Amino acid sequence: MRKSRVAIIGAGLAATPHALALNELRDEAEVIGVVGRSRERLEQFTDTYGFPVAESFDAVLKDPRVDAVLVLTPPHTHLEFVEQAAAEGKHVLLEKPLDVSLARAERTVVACREAGVQLGVVFQNRFRPAVQRLAALAKSGALGALAYAGVSLRWWRPQSYYDESGRGTYARDGGGVLMTQAIHSLDILTWLAGEVSSVVAATGTTSLHSMEAEDFASAALTFESGAVGHMLATTAAYPGFPERIELVGTNGTAVLEGGHLRVFFHDGRVDGFHDPSSSGFGAKPMDFSHTAHRDLLRDFFAAMREERAPLVTGDDALRVQRLIERITNSGGHCQ
Per-residue model confidence as pLDDT tens digits over 128-184: 999 999 999 999 999 999 999 999 999 999 999 999 999 999 999 999 999 999 999
Burial classification of residue 332, based on how many CB atoms lie within 10 Å of its CB (0-12 exposed, 13-18 middle, 19 or more buried): exposed
Q: pLDDT value at position 287?
A: 76
Span 27-31, average pLDDT: 97
Quick check: 231 and 243 in contact, CB under 8 A?
Answer: no
Q: Is the pLDDT of residue 335 over 60?
A: no
Rounded to the nearest 5 degrees, what angle is found at the Cα of 126, between the Cα atoms of 322 and 309?
75
Quick check: 115 and 88 in contact, CB under 8 A?
Answer: no
239-285 confidence digits (pLDDT tens): 999 999 999 999 999 999 999 999 999 999 999 999 887 677 877 87
Quick check: 139 and 131 in contact, CB under 8 A?
Answer: no
CA distance 8 to 69: 6
Helices vs. strands in the chain: H and E counts, helices first: 11, 14
Q: What is the total residue count of the chain? A: 335
Q: Is the pLDDT of residue 24 over 90?
A: yes
Contacts of residue 258, Cβ cutoff 8 Å, sequence gap at least 6: 130, 242, 243, 278, 279, 281
Q: What is the pTM (predicted TM-score) of this model?
A: 0.95
Q: What is the mean pLDDT of the chain?
A: 95
Q: pLDDT value at position 237?
A: 98
Quick check: 118 and 112 in contact, CB under 8 A?
Answer: yes
Identify the DSSP state of 25. Answer: T
Buried b (16+ CB within 10 A) or exposed e, 62-74: ebeebbbbbbbbb
Collapse the DSSP code of 89 into the 3-class scheme (helix H, G, I; strand E, B; otherwise coil) and give the result: coil
CA distance 162 to 168: 6
275-334 confidence digits (pLDDT tens): 887 677 877 877 789 999 999 999 999 999 999 999 999 999 999 999 999 999 986 666
For the chain, the farthest-separated pair of C-alpha atoms sits apart, in whole angstroms, at 62
Residue 31's H or E segment, with its range, is: strand 29-35
Q: pLDDT value at position 277?
A: 72
Amino acid at 78: H
Q: pLDDT value at position 305?
A: 94
Q: Is the pLDDT of residue 235 over 90?
A: yes
Tell which residue, 106, 110, 2, 11, has the closest CA to residue 54: 11
Q: pLDDT value at position 99?
A: 98
* Edge-to-edge strands, sheet with 91-95: 29-35, 4-9, 68-71, 91-95, 119-122
Calculate helix-pair angle for 291-306, 15-24, nearest 10 degrees. Answer: 70
Domains plus CATH for the chain? 4-124+293-313 (3.40.50.720), 126-287+317-334 (3.30.360.10)
DSSP bridge pairs for 91: 68
Q: Is the pLDDT of residue 232 over 90?
A: yes
First to last CA, the chain: 55
Rounded to the nearest 5 degrees, what angle is found at the Cα of 67, between the Cα atoms of 6 and 18?
25
Q: pLDDT value at position 276?
A: 81
Burial classification of residue 317, based on how many CB atoms lie within 10 Å of its CB (0-12 exposed, 13-18 middle, 19 or more buried): buried
Residue 115's H or E segment, with its range, is: helix 102-115
32-72 confidence digits (pLDDT tens): 999 998 889 999 999 999 999 999 999 999 999 999 999 99
Quick check: 13 and 180 in contact, CB under 8 A?
Answer: no
